[in-house]
Structure formats: structure tokens, C-alpha cells
A and B are shown apart, each in its own frame.
Chain A
């Protein structure tokens, strides 16, 4: 695109058409900047894929998929890792020294990736139904959206890895994961570990709308 713009200007403009030349040079500069920024952000998020999977969809047990999560949620998590409010050395190291603008750009980029699809393996119908009843009782959809696509600081739960959901919910309940806001600790106070397992099974097998 940049090369095309340049050629056009030279063909049409000639020596006297200064404003058009400047405009064209401006277009080239902006294109180069945008391309540069895109390359820079892709370079920044590339290391994420080593653990969180290609394009942010995780194939690894207890490792969350990060693709298609709400940008605000991702920003908060990156912030918490940078500030060492969540103590996971690999993550603390990965975001060390990044600026507010950098973590914000990373969050925005990852939020635009296609969210994970639920696993193709057959779900246990009875557990899915138990999970469906539990999300109604505990009003999970109130914050995470009725289709569990998440929004603002609330993560997308639909299609997340089941083993990761199980771990995250247990960690919120035990206090091992403080959360940004203690809301999850409040919500999980009366929820048993068996119920957590059913919730995770149900949510992992849900396909949510793609709200990117």
C-alpha cells in the first residue's frame, strides 16, 4: 500500500504539487508506523503463546486460554502480575518493566483473537445439567453474561479449559488467588468443591457468542 501511494504521487504530481507530495509522504509514514506498531505488539505477545498456546488457545493442563478475553480483564491480570499482586514467577517475569501503555496494547490485542471453542469430546450430560442449575443458583451469569462471554473485568468462561476453571475457582475459594476484587471469594463462600467441578465441566463445554 505504501509503495503504491508513492508511485501514484510521483506520476501525477510533478515538481509543483508540494501539498500532495507531503500528504503522500504522510500516508507512507502513518502506514509505516501502524505496520511497525502491529509488528511490535505481535512481537510482544509472541512469548505468551509459548505457554498459553498458539493464538492464545491453550493445549496445556491448568494453563488458561487468553484469546478473546475482555481487554479490561486482561489488563487487570497483566497489571496484577506486573505489580506482583499475583505471585506466579513466570508471569511476573514476563511482564516485568512493561509500561501502562504496553500492557494495555497487549490486552487489546489478545482480546481481539478468536476465543477458544469448547472441546469436541462428549460432555457428561448429567454434570452439564448440574452445572447449568448451579450457575442459576449462584447467579454467575449476572456478571459474566448469560452466555458466559464475559465483559469489562469479568473473564470469558465459556470454552475455557475445564482443568483451569476448576483450579481458578478453588484458588479463589481458598484465598490462594486474591483476585483484583474479592467478589469471587464472596460468591464462592457457600459453593462446595463437588459443585465447583460441575460448574467447571458445564462452562468448559459452553460455546459463547463471539463478541469481539
Chain B
């Protein structure tokens, strides 16, 4: 892991000189818009710094505990961040069991992990393996539900069987098998149904009837209904603790430009009817350069908030704990994984979204920053999970680690 860290530093150092030039080129491009589909959109050619704007793949091997970037992470006054667990390859989605076990899924390891606390020391157990992108996890009445790319399965009474878990039993597999945006997010709603998305199988295209939507099914896999349509990709959602409405983060398309469209925070107010606009309309007010002709953004449900271009909004939870100050109660903590399709990276942070009484957005503010340094990632936050004591975990798939945030005391 030393080598990874060193290389990143080297890239950061080498990239600075060229980077200034690159930004000015990017600015020039924005001043005179390029024709749609131009290969120059977003990327100056023959520029050494620009070569580092490619998608960022997390190293397959987790970062050693002493190399984690915790010292560089910043939080508001009174909050403290510590490493809670490390050595979990591609740690992404987190779910909390009734007995305090944290279940961890992801896209690259093919495994689901259980992290248990043994007198203050965390032990990581593999509870399922050989899975295909098990990014979606949900827990309900002791049962663990796992969403792989093209099937959903379950393990009953999981916390009593962590050392010898039975194989997952498939409950639903009527799903497209596309790799593109095929990984799932999964949750159990207040109606005791399993919710998950089927993303668009592309950056931008006309999706089939089976794509670009949020679905729900009964806990046995029956009774599929489409909850909302016109959604490019979702990797995080939660239900408002009072109104019980579904809020979700949505990643918008790439390659239109550096600054447009922005990713979104959405709310479903009319289950079964809401359409969020993909591929016709982006960020609620920009018609697509190809699919938007003859359509209007007014046909579609508007976003609650714009969350930054290419910022990759992922996991989110309403804060219902008691440890953090009162101003955070009922707010949404949301992880922004960070951009790749942009010269100057943005995101790589956890933001706090405060809401009005009617459930609309009052403010969006940074909560944890410092994952992004000199246009390089030191880590990338993916999901948040509030614990019973009101502290909060944040997963980092770049380092294969989980951090815990506490307040005061």
C-alpha cells in the first residue's frame, strides 16, 4: 500500500504545473461550447495532467491501518473521527443488525462481510462469497437481504449464524444483467417491502421499460411494482422519519460538460407516478442535447436539491440519533464519492442536508472534508450508518476502511 500512496503523491506533485494550464483550457472550452459529442468536451488533449482525469478505481487491496488519511479529514467543531475498522476490501454499503453487527457489501470483492465488536476490537468475518457485485444490503427482522447485480437473496437469522452462515437463498431474479449501472442499492421501506433500483445501462441512452427505475417487491420476492421512473442511477436512499417519503440520491449523466448537469437529491411524493426525467431532462432544468428535443423539463418531477456536477452522490441516512447536537436531528447525511468526469475534482466528502418542515431542502453544507487533496483522492466516502449510541459510521471503498464519528463526551 505504501506504493499506492507514494504514487498518488507523485502524481499530485507532477500534475500541479500542467493542471493550471489544463484548467484554463477547460475554461476556454466552456466559453465557446463545443458541438454535442465533441471528443474535446471536458478533456484537453496531449496534456499530461489531463491523463489523470480517468475514472478512479479503488485499489483491490485495502490500505494498511497506519496509512489511512484520518489526520487529514476535517469535521465541524466538537466532532471527532477515528478508524473503526480497516482491511475490508472495497467497503461500501453498510447495514446495522439488531445485535450491533455491521454488514458490509461492495462492488469489487464479491463478498459480504460482518464486522463484530469484541470488547472494543473489531473482527471482520466473511459471511458470503463468490457473489457478483453484492452492493445492496438490507436487514429486516433478523434476515439479511443481499442484492447482487441481477438477483436478490436472503439469509435468515443471520446474526446467530455469523461463523457458519448458510448460503443465500434467491428470492428475486427478474432483472436485467447489464454491467453498466447494474450494481444495486437495497432497503426495506416503512411498508415492509424491499426497494432497489435498476439503473440505466449506459451513460446516456433511451432505456428499456425495465431500466432506469426504482422498484419494490414483497419480502418473499413477489408483487413487483415500479415506484419511480426516469432515474439514471441510484446508490443511496432512505425514508423520512416523519413523512415516510422516500428520498434518494441520483447520479446524472457524464460528458455534457464540466459543470452541467449536477447530481440530484430527489423525493418520491407520488409512488408509481413520479418520473425524474432521464434521459430527456437533467437536473430538473436542462434538456438533453440528444433526447431532450421536443420535450420539456416541466413534464418531470423536480429535484429537491442539486448536489454538484459529477460529484457522485451515494449513500445517505436521516439522522435520528441523540449524540449529535439538536440541529442535526432529522437532517440527511450524504456521502459524495467524488467526480472523475471533471478537470477539477469535486465531492469526496460527506455533506449534511437540513430540511424544512415540509420536507424540502433548507441547506446543504460540508460535514467531513479532506478526502480530496491536490485534485487526488486520499479516500472516497460511500455510505453512512448511524449506530444505536448516535455516533455515525462512514465507509471508504478506496481504502477499504470504516470511520466512526462521535460528538463531545
Residue A180 is within 8 A (CB to CB) of chain B in the complex: yes
Candidates A72, A79, A85, A183; contact of B55 at CB < 8 Å: A183
Interface of B is mostly: loop
- How many A-B pairs fall under 8 Å by CB? 81
- Min Cβ gap B225→A in Å is 27
Contacts of A142 in B (CB 8 A): 42-43, 53-54
Query: Is there contact, CB below 8 Å, between B177 and A186?
Result: no
Q: How many interface residues does chain A have, given as a range?
A: 35 or more
Query: Is there contact, CB below 8 Å, between B57 and A139?
Result: no
Query: Is there contact, CB below 8 Å, between A151 and B51?
Result: yes
Contact with A along B15-55 (1 / 0, CB 8 A): 00000000000000000000001010011011000011111
Residue A193 is within 8 A (CB to CB) of chain B in the complex: no
Contacts of B201 in A (CB 8 A): 185, 189
Residue B325 is within 8 A (CB to CB) of chain A in the complex: no
Q: Which A residue's beta carbon lies closest to that of B205?
A: A189
Candidates A80, A154, A189; contact of B202 at CB < 8 Å: A189
Pick from B74-82, B179-187, B366-374 the stretch touching chain A: B179-187
Q: Roughly how many angstroms separate A154 CA and B39 CA in the complex, as a whole number?
A: 19
Residue A178 is within 8 A (CB to CB) of chain B in the complex: yes
Query: Is there contact, CB below 8 Å, between B55 and A104?
Result: no
Contacts of A189 in B (CB 8 A): 180, 201-203, 205
Contacts of A152 in B (CB 8 A): 52, 54, 57
Residue B189 is within 8 A (CB to CB) of chain A in the complex: no
Number of interface residues, chain B, beta carbon within 8 A: 34
Residue A26 is within 8 A (CB to CB) of chain B in the complex: no
Query: Is there contact, CB below 8 Å, between B60 and A79?
Result: yes
Query: Is there contact, CB below 8 Å, between B60 and A75?
Result: yes
- Min Cβ gap B92→A in Å is 13
- Min Cβ gap B218→A in Å is 29
- Min Cβ gap A97→B in Å is 16
CB within 8 Å of B: which A69-101 residues:
72, 75-76, 79-80, 83-85, 100
Point out residues on B near A: beta carbons under 8 Å.
Answer: 3, 37, 39, 42-43, 45-46, 51-55, 57, 59-61, 108-110, 130, 132-133, 177-183, 201-203, 205, 255
Point out residues on A near B: beta carbons under 8 Å.
Answer: 72, 75-76, 79-80, 83-85, 100, 104, 108, 136-137, 139, 141-143, 145-146, 151-154, 175, 178-183, 185-187, 189-190
Q: A141-B45, A154-B54, A180-B108 are in contact. List 20 more A-B contacts (CB 8 A).
A: A72-B57, A72-B59, A75-B59, A75-B61, A76-B57, A76-B60, A80-B60, A84-B130, A139-B255, A145-B51, A146-B51, A153-B57, A175-B178, A179-B179, A182-B179, A185-B179, A186-B180, A187-B203, A190-B202, A190-B205
